[in-house]
Amino acid sequence: MLEEWGTMTAKLNRAVRCTAAVLAVVALGAGATACSGSGSAAPATLSGTAAPATQSSSQAPTSTDTGSTTTLSSTSTGGSSGGVSTQGTRRPTDAANASSSAASSRCHTSELKFSWSAGSPDMNATNQQIAEVTLTNSGGRTCTLYGFPGVRLISKSGETWDLPRSTDKASTITLKPGDGTASITMTILPIPANTTDTRPFAPSKVLITPPDETTHVTLDWPYGGALWHRAGTTSSPETFVSPIGF
């Protein structure tokens, strides 16, 4: 009787231990448990557990600047397909467009006719006078002028004088073929013939270069006389050139 009682007790204990082990495995979310016939519970075996997720390090987007188009390329190694994203082509700024347009329509020296305007300065006056050159479009296309011309006076003795600029603002002048409405205005201060103790500059030639051009034309100075030339005076010169206007 006692032997049977001991056998039943051992079986009961084994069942309790087995049940406890199964419950523990279920709580862990893993596979099955096997109980040995010797009365000891086999260790719970975790089967079917997924390997920890591996986060692949995607290549950082790279930027390739070709000067006009920026391309961003992205590579993915985690199963999703990589792609190439192309941003819009860089557009030149409005200022660049305007500059390019102005350059293509600019009047070139060879397309212009230069002539002294009607009327002449009084070279015996004691106040400032105006000497003006008319520009006529002698080419076959419409062109524009904007800014200051280069004006160099050459004296009878060979001395040169590059006229300083006024403080006036420039505006765009449009010339159609045959149009002669543009002008170069030089404000000058003559020296009367009887003036002494001065440094006279007697013009003989005038070299004129249109805005943004590198070639010039040469005109004879038709008015005689001399100009008051104070070398090094640029803050408030008596003789200067204005931007091209009407």
pLDDT in tens, 173-214: 999 999 999 999 999 999 987 777 677 899 999 999 999 999
pTM, two decimal places: 0.59
Which residue reads 């390739």 in tokens?
64
Where do the structural domains in the chain lie, given as residue ranges?
A: 1-42, 108-241
Q: How confident is the model at residue 246 (pLDDT cuts 50, 70, 90)?
A: confident
User: In this structure, which topology does domain 108-241 adopt according to CATH?
Assistant: Immunoglobulin-like (2.60.40)
Q: How confident is the model at residue 104 (pLDDT cuts 50, 70, 90)?
A: confident
pLDDT at 192: 82
pLDDT at 237: 84
Residue 178 structure tokens: 């045959």
Specify the amino acid at residue 68: S
124-165 residue pLDDT tens: 998 999 999 999 999 999 999 999 999 999 999 999 999 999
User: For the residues 63-71, what does the mean pLDDT come to?
Assistant: 33
Burial degree of 48 (CB within 10 A; 0-12, 13-18, 19+): exposed
8-60 residue pLDDT tens: 555 555 654 545 544 444 444 444 444 444 444 444 443 444 444 444 333 33
> Contacts for 210-215 with beta carbons within 8 Å, 24 or more apart?
210/107, 210/108, 210/109, 210/112, 210/135, 210/145, 210/149, 210/244, 211/106, 211/145, 211/146, 211/147, 211/148, 211/149, 211/170, 211/244, 212/103, 212/106, 212/147, 213/106, 213/108, 213/109, 215/109, 215/110
